[in-house]
Structure 1
Amino acid sequence: MSDFFHNGWSIFIAVATIGGIVGCLVLLLLASKRKVLADDNTTGHVWDEDLRELNNPLPRWWMGLFVLTIVFAGVYLAFYPGLGSYQGKLGWSQISQYEAEVEKARAQIEPIYAQFEAMDVEQLAANAQAMGIGERLFVNNCAQCHGSDARGSKGFPNLTDNDWLYGGSHEAIIETITNGRHGVMPPMAAAVGTSEDVRNVAHYVLSLSGSPHDSIAAQLGKAKFGVCAACHGADGKGNQALGAPNLTDKVWLHGWGEQAIISAITNGRDNQMPAHGDKLTAPQIRVLAAYVWGLSNRARGMESAQADAAR
């Protein structure tokens, strides 16, 4: 892959660009000096006995425009990128242009977010303007995985059920959005034992949430659950510090049932949420986190708004 970034490619592009412009100019000059070879304004070429090629030169205005185009190309390439790695006299780049536009946009939206700085999460969740902005941020950055209704899908958490892998506080959600999350469950089948032991553990996990299960298999799997307890806890209620799911609440991120649990134990899981700290500003993330928090705590936000109105 590094061959495509070799300095030779830059030289090749520069030579090809200049060569093309010079070639057009030479072609134009040669065509303008072409002489008429016959008195009847023909070039002397005859086909099929009576078909003659006429020598009709280009209009001067057209040739003038052609020359101006070539001159414009030369001036443009002197000031802007176009000749390989040469950046041009003005030093313009699409990256600097993008960064300038981003900074301009940030300067325009700063006053909007400034009014939210003194609000806590409950006040933000009750503020219609803040939630309108948060919803747009969610649709543009989060809905691709969590869905436009934030209810998720298989492998993507539901953000409306108040069930959180890493904690549902405003601060925890801000950290999740800013830095992303990388949840890994290693394959544990070898540590559990035989395939029958894995099945028994699967039924014990089902029993923790009161789901339909084989009670005999669950009793046999309880002793083997110890290898899972290191992350999920002895009671199976998970560990938010590790992002280990609560196995007692009937919320199944990767599917429900014996086979789904056996697959998780045998193959493990590797889920990643990308970080958005380099894409969104801190005030944007704060409002977005309040919107996500409000999806499962809307009642608390409304109570806060009503209390403020009553004061």
Structure 2
Amino acid sequence: MSTAWSWFVIALSALNILGLVWLLWYTARRRPGDPKPEETSHYWDGDITEYNKPMPRWWIQGFYLTIVFAIAYVAWYGGMGHYAGYSGWTSQKEHEIDKAASDANLAETFRPYDGQPIDRLAAEPEARKLGASIFANTCATCHGSSAQGAIGYPNLTDDIWHWGGEPQTILQTVLDGREGVMPEWGPVLTSMGGDNAIDYTVAYVRALGTPGQSLQNDYLASQGKKLYDGVCVACHGVEGKGNRELGAPDLTDRYWLYGSSKEALRQSIAKGRHGVMPAHRAMLGETRARLVAAYVWSLSNPPGGKKPVPASAPAGSAH
């Protein structure tokens, strides 16, 4: 708030208080020539008269006391522009005190799990329960309440991990985030293979996700392989198995983060993609990040040992 606005608020508050004092004083006294309280000429049913008597003195004094209380309150707690009041109280300080108390309670709750390995936490029901609660408050916005993701947001319940599904790798993802970039290859591919280059590459990428498909009778895919070998192989590998160090997905598992339709793949190849998993180290801290990482790891590595069904959705679906 600027100094001018601060003085405006102070002046407005002072005028309101003085105006109330004057109005109370002016209306609480009778003046010479005022009609008597019963001379209102308001009558009903012949014997019911409306009077206009002054308010009782105790009520008037009580009103004055409320004004004195308001002045003392503003003097102590502030409330007029930049003036902070004699107490120095602010809502920000109050919030910081409450937050410190709440953080202390949370720290005590999470203390038994400090530094515990992810797989050990995943085996403890209470730890998984806490991790699920943290997930619901922090991660479900993107990955969904069931952790099955959506277009552009990975499914955390299957066996597909673009950056690796080891416990420590998941913890690193939660703490420091990830940034997956698929460059815009449209101009490069077009310069190499002409106007149909993107369609050729799409055909080959779709063929990679179709086991047993031969390129001998698929002209588009066979042309796309040449382009793939010249551009895409650097990240996704010769066999299309991807590279977890780069976050480059496996193109043979039929899991498609942004959809596997021809249009979705065309968009990915021609225009690129930029996926960001925000870092949560500052927000959650080490222990809470461990708990939520343990919960996420348990979704694909349940304590009973039953592994999730591998992703094998139809080619036209999207995860």
TM-score range for the pair, normalised by the shorter chain length: 0.7 to 0.9
Aligned partner (choices 240, 259, 262) of residue 258 of structure 1: 262
Tell me by how many angstroms 1:146 deviates: 1.0
Contact 1:201 1:220 in 2 (8 A): yes
Mapped partners of 2:83, 2:241: distance in 1: 60
Q: Which amino acid aligns with 1:182?
A: E
Match of 1:30 in 2: 26
Match of 2:123 in 1: 126
Tell me by how many angstroms 1:263 deviates: 1.3
Match of 1:221 in 2: 224
CA gap 1:61/1:203 in 2 versus in 1, 3 angstroms: farther
CA gap 1:280/1:118 in 2 versus in 1, 3 angstroms: closer
- Larger displacement relative to structure 2 (152-161 or 71-80): 71-80
Match of 1:88 in 2: 85
Contact 1:81 1:87 in 2 (8 A): yes
Mapped partners of 1:101, 1:257: distance in 2: 51
CA gap 1:299/1:129 in 2 versus in 1, 3 angstroms: closer
- Larger displacement relative to structure 2 (246-255 or 266-275): 266-275
Q: Which amino acid aligns with 1:291?
A: Y
What pairs with 1:96-115 in structure 2 (closer than 5 Å)?
Answer: 96-115=93-112
Mapped partners of 1:182, 1:266: distance in 2: 19
Contact 2:118 2:168 in 1 (8 A): no
The alignment-based identity, stated in percent, is 38
Match of 1:138 in 2: 135
Match of 1:206 in 2: 206
- Larger displacement relative to structure 2 (198-207 or 71-80): 71-80
Tell me by how many angstroms 1:183 deviates: 3.0
SS of match in other structure, 2:129: helix
What pairs with 1:271-282 in structure 2 (closer than 5 Å)?
Answer: 271-282=275-286
Tell me by how many angstroms 1:215 deviates: 2.6
Aligned residues: 294
The answer as to 2:292 corresponding to 1:288 is: yes
**TM-score normalised to structure 2 length:** 0.80
CA gap 1:79/1:179 in 2 versus in 1, 3 angstroms: farther
SS of match in other structure, 1:184: strand
Match of 1:17 in 2: 13
Flag the structure with higher helix content: 1
CA gap 1:284/1:118 in 2 versus in 1, 3 angstroms: closer
The answer as to 2:241 corresponding to 1:237 is: yes
Instruction: Spell out, residue by residue over 1:94-127, the C-alpha distance to the aligned partner (whole angstroms, 9 max, x if none).
Output: 3332232222223223333232236322221110
CA gap 1:138/1:76 in 2 versus in 1, 3 angstroms: same
**TM-score normalised to structure 1 length:** 0.82
Tell me by how many angstroms 1:262 deviates: 0.3
Mapped partners of 1:188, 1:81: distance in 2: 61
The answer as to 2:155 corresponding to 1:158 is: yes
CA gap 1:233/1:302 in 2 versus in 1, 3 angstroms: closer
Tell me by how many angstroms 1:204 deviates: 1.1
The answer for unaligned runs of 5 or more in structure 2 is 43-49, 308-319
- Larger displacement relative to structure 2 (70-79 or 250-259): 70-79
Tell me by how many angstroms 1:36 deviates: 5.4
SS of match in other structure, 2:276: strand
Tell me by how many angstroms 1:197 deviates: 0.6
CA-based RMSD of the aligned residues comes to 3.0
Match of 1:49 in 2: none
The answer as to 2:37 corresponding to 1:41 is: yes
CA gap 1:296/1:260 in 2 versus in 1, 3 angstroms: same
The answer as to 2:53 corresponding to 1:56 is: yes
Instruction: Spell out, residue by residue over 1:228-257, the C-alpha distance to the aligned partner (whole angstroms, 9 max, x if none).
Output: 333333433223333222222111111112
Mapped partners of 1:137, 1:248: distance in 2: 33
